[in-house]
């Protein structure tokens, strides 16, 4: 009778409990009833697991597509290691046509900021001879109007620049151009 009572209690606990774990307090009946499950609950669990797997796969697929699109857009718009290009902003010879001053803008890339360069050459200079760099300024958001120059006299050139610029080269007089040019600098 005691054995039947224990069996009845165990079956009742299995049918009415949410977790199908059984703690055996007596050695008379230690039987795991987890494998005995109603067919409806098994089918319901399988359907919910399949739905969860399906949602997870769709989520991973969408994340993959978004990552690929993001990578393509990033690589198309961001010029990481492109060669900087040089744009000629202003070219002016002196009053007698002997010496020429050229101002150019160099574009930047991921490692370099944009910069403005001023060079001095002869007015009839040979393309094989490099012009003499006189002034180089750089900043993250540099604009062509941040640097300007004008001839003050026959041998003096005035260069005006924004005080927020980082100056890399600033000569006081030319070395290779004849007759020499004296450079004056004014910060704005």
pLDDT at position 25, please?
47
Q: Please tell me whether the peptide bond between 179 and the residue prior to it is cis, using omega within 30 degrees of 0.
A: yes
How crowded is residue 90: how many other Cβ atoms within 10 Å of its Cβ?
15
Give the model's pLDDT for residue 14. Answer: 66
Q: Where are the domains of the chain?
A: 1-36, 47-78, 86-187
Residues 6+ apart with CB under 8 A from 133: 117, 118, 119, 169, 171
Residue 50 confidence (pLDDT): 86
Cα-flanking dihedrals φ and ψ of residue 180, to 5°? -60, 150
Residue ranges of the alpha helices (H) in 23-127? Answer: 39-77
The pLDDT profile of the chain, 188 residues, written as one tens digit per residue, is: 677 777 766 666 666 654 444 445 444 455 555 555 555 566 677 788 888 999 999 999 999 999 999 998 887 776 666 778 889 999 998 888 888 999 999 987 777 889 999 999 988 766 777 899 999 999 988 999 999 999 998 889 999 999 999 999 999 999 988 889 999 999 98
The predicted pLDDT at position 20 comes to 44
Neighbours of 55 (CB within 10 A): 10
Burial class of residue 157 (count of CB atoms within 10 Å of its CB; 0-12, 13-18, 19+): buried
């Amino acid at each position: 009778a005691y054995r039947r009572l224990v069996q009845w209690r165990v079956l009742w606990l299995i049918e009415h409990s949410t977790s199908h774990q059984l703690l055996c307090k007596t050695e008379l009946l230690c039987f795991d009833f987890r494998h005995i499950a109603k067919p409806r609950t098994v089918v319901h669990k399988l359907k919910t697991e399949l739905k969860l797997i399906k949602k997870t796969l769709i989520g991973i697929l969408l994340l993959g597509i978004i990552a690929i699109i993001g990578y393509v857009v990033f690589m198309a718009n961001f010029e990481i290691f492109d060669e900087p290009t040089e744009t000629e902003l202003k070219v002016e010879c002196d009053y007698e046509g002997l010496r020429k001053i050229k101002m150019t803008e160099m574009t930047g890339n991921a490692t370099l900021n944009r910069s403005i360069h001023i060079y001095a050459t002869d007015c009839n200079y040979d393309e094989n001879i490099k012009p003499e760099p006189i002034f180089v300024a750089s900043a993250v958001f540099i604009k062509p109007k941040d640097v300007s120059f004008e001839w003050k006299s026959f041998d003096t050139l005035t260069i005006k620049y924004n005080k927020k610029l980082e100056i890399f080269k600033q000569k006081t007089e030319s070395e290779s151009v004849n007759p020499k040019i004296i450079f004056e600098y004014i910060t704005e």
